[in-house]
Amino acid sequence: MKVLIAVSGLREESCGDPVAAVTSYPWPTETAFRVLTVAPPVHPPVAGLIPGALDIADVQRTADTMADNAAAIAAAQLQDRGFVAEGVSQEGEASSAIVEYAKTWGADLIVVGSCDRPAIERFFVGSV
Protein backbone atom coordinates (compact mmCIF):
# COMPACT_ATOMS: atom_id res chain seq x y z
CA MET A 1 0.00 0.00 0.00
CA LYS A 2 1.18 3.53 -0.79
CA VAL A 3 0.05 6.41 1.42
CA LEU A 4 0.71 10.03 0.43
CA ILE A 5 0.65 12.48 3.33
CA ALA A 6 0.43 16.14 2.36
CA VAL A 7 1.72 18.56 4.99
CA SER A 8 1.96 22.32 4.99
CA GLY A 9 4.69 22.70 7.56
CA LEU A 10 2.43 24.82 9.77
CA ARG A 11 2.49 23.82 13.41
CA GLU A 12 -0.56 25.55 14.82
CA GLU A 13 -2.97 24.26 17.40
CA SER A 14 -5.88 24.88 15.02
CA CYS A 15 -4.34 22.61 12.37
CA GLY A 16 -4.88 18.87 12.25
CA ASP A 17 -1.64 16.89 12.09
CA PRO A 18 -1.87 14.30 9.31
CA VAL A 19 1.37 12.60 10.44
CA ALA A 20 -0.02 12.01 13.93
CA ALA A 21 -3.27 10.74 12.43
CA VAL A 22 -1.41 8.28 10.20
CA THR A 23 0.70 6.89 13.04
CA SER A 24 -2.41 6.03 15.02
CA TYR A 25 -3.51 3.34 12.53
CA PRO A 26 -2.22 -0.23 12.25
CA TRP A 27 -0.81 -0.30 8.70
CA PRO A 28 0.29 -3.44 6.86
CA THR A 29 4.07 -3.90 7.17
CA GLU A 30 4.66 -3.30 3.45
CA THR A 31 3.00 0.14 3.53
CA ALA A 32 5.17 2.91 2.07
CA PHE A 33 4.64 6.54 3.03
CA ARG A 34 5.56 9.69 1.14
CA VAL A 35 5.29 13.05 2.80
CA LEU A 36 4.69 15.83 0.29
CA THR A 37 4.97 19.54 0.93
CA VAL A 38 4.16 22.01 -1.83
CA ALA A 39 5.83 25.42 -1.91
CA PRO A 40 3.47 27.94 -3.51
CA PRO A 41 4.83 29.91 -6.44
CA VAL A 42 5.85 33.40 -5.37
CA HIS A 43 4.30 36.17 -7.41
CA PRO A 44 5.85 39.66 -7.75
CA PRO A 45 3.24 41.50 -5.62
CA VAL A 46 3.71 39.01 -2.76
CA ALA A 47 7.50 39.28 -2.91
CA GLY A 48 7.21 43.05 -2.51
CA LEU A 49 5.40 42.61 0.81
CA ILE A 50 8.26 40.70 2.44
CA PRO A 51 10.76 43.03 4.15
CA GLY A 52 14.32 42.59 2.97
CA ALA A 53 13.36 40.54 -0.09
CA LEU A 54 15.62 41.59 -2.91
CA ASP A 55 14.01 39.62 -5.67
CA ILE A 56 11.43 36.94 -6.32
CA ALA A 57 14.06 34.23 -6.74
CA ASP A 58 15.28 34.74 -3.14
CA VAL A 59 11.75 34.54 -1.78
CA GLN A 60 11.01 31.44 -3.86
CA ARG A 61 14.21 29.74 -2.68
CA THR A 62 13.19 30.42 0.91
CA ALA A 63 9.71 28.95 0.31
CA ASP A 64 11.23 25.91 -1.41
CA THR A 65 13.69 25.36 1.47
CA MET A 66 10.90 25.60 4.02
CA ALA A 67 8.90 23.00 2.06
CA ASP A 68 11.93 20.70 1.85
CA ASN A 69 12.48 20.98 5.61
CA ALA A 70 8.82 20.36 6.47
CA ALA A 71 8.71 17.20 4.33
CA ALA A 72 11.99 15.90 5.78
CA ILE A 73 10.91 16.53 9.37
CA ALA A 74 7.54 14.81 8.87
CA ALA A 75 9.17 11.82 7.14
CA ALA A 76 11.67 11.55 10.01
CA GLN A 77 8.79 11.48 12.51
CA LEU A 78 7.32 8.51 10.65
CA GLN A 79 10.71 6.78 10.42
CA ASP A 80 11.22 7.27 14.17
CA ARG A 81 8.01 5.28 14.68
CA GLY A 82 9.25 2.44 12.47
CA PHE A 83 7.51 3.34 9.20
CA VAL A 84 9.12 3.39 5.76
CA ALA A 85 8.82 7.03 4.74
CA GLU A 86 10.34 9.53 2.36
CA GLY A 87 9.89 13.29 2.23
CA VAL A 88 9.53 15.20 -1.03
CA SER A 89 8.64 18.74 -1.95
CA GLN A 90 7.42 20.45 -5.07
CA GLU A 91 6.65 23.96 -6.20
CA GLY A 92 3.17 24.81 -7.42
CA GLU A 93 -0.45 25.13 -6.39
CA ALA A 94 -1.03 22.65 -3.57
CA SER A 95 -4.40 21.24 -4.62
CA SER A 96 -3.30 20.25 -8.12
CA ALA A 97 0.27 19.30 -7.14
CA ILE A 98 -0.94 16.85 -4.50
CA VAL A 99 -3.32 15.13 -6.90
CA GLU A 100 -0.73 14.96 -9.70
CA TYR A 101 1.94 13.59 -7.39
CA ALA A 102 -0.48 10.96 -6.07
CA LYS A 103 -1.27 9.85 -9.62
CA THR A 104 2.39 9.73 -10.66
CA TRP A 105 3.50 7.82 -7.56
CA GLY A 106 0.47 5.53 -7.61
CA ALA A 107 -0.83 6.43 -4.14
CA ASP A 108 -3.64 4.32 -2.76
CA LEU A 109 -4.59 6.93 -0.16
CA ILE A 110 -4.03 10.67 0.30
CA VAL A 111 -4.00 12.08 3.85
CA VAL A 112 -4.17 15.84 4.43
CA GLY A 113 -4.66 17.98 7.50
CA SER A 114 -7.05 20.85 7.96
CA CYS A 115 -6.77 24.19 9.71
CA ASP A 116 -9.66 25.96 11.34
CA ARG A 117 -9.09 29.41 9.84
CA PRO A 118 -11.39 32.40 9.43
CA ALA A 119 -12.79 32.90 5.91
CA ILE A 120 -10.71 36.04 5.27
CA GLU A 121 -7.49 34.21 6.15
CA ARG A 122 -8.43 31.28 3.87
CA PHE A 123 -9.01 33.82 1.10
CA PHE A 124 -5.53 35.35 1.43
CA VAL A 125 -3.51 32.32 2.57
CA GLY A 126 -5.49 29.60 0.83
CA SER A 127 -6.64 26.20 1.90
CA VAL A 128 -6.27 22.80 0.30
Q: Confidence band (pLDDT; 50, 70, 90) for 14?
A: very low
Least confident span in 19-33, 80-94, 113-127: 113-127
Q: Does any domain span residue 120?
A: no
Mean pLDDT calculated for residue range 22-28: 90
Q: Does any domain span residue 103?
A: yes
Instruction: Say how many C-beta atoms besides its own lie within 10 A of residue 14's C-beta.
Output: 9
Least confident span in 28-32, 85-89, 97-101, 111-115: 111-115
- The CATH number of whichever domain residue 44 belongs to comes to 3.40.50.620
Q: Does any domain span residue 81?
A: yes
Instruction: Say how many C-beta atoms besides its own lie within 10 A of residue 26's C-beta.
Output: 6
Residues 6+ apart with CB under 8 A from 107: 2, 3, 4, 34, 101
Q: Does any domain span residue 124?
A: no
Q: Does any domain span residue 76?
A: yes
Which residues span the domain enclosing 89?
2-28+36-113
Q: Does any domain span residue 73?
A: yes
Q: Does any domain span residue 122?
A: no
Strand 84-91, strand 2-6: pairing: unpaired
Q: pTM value?
A: 0.77
Q: Write the pLDDT tens digit of every residue in 39-75.
A: 888 766 555 566 655 567 777 888 888 889 989 999 9
Work out how many domains the chain is built from and give that number.
1
Q: Does any domain span residue 98?
A: yes
Helices (H), the chain: 18-23, 44-47, 56-80, 94-105, 119-125
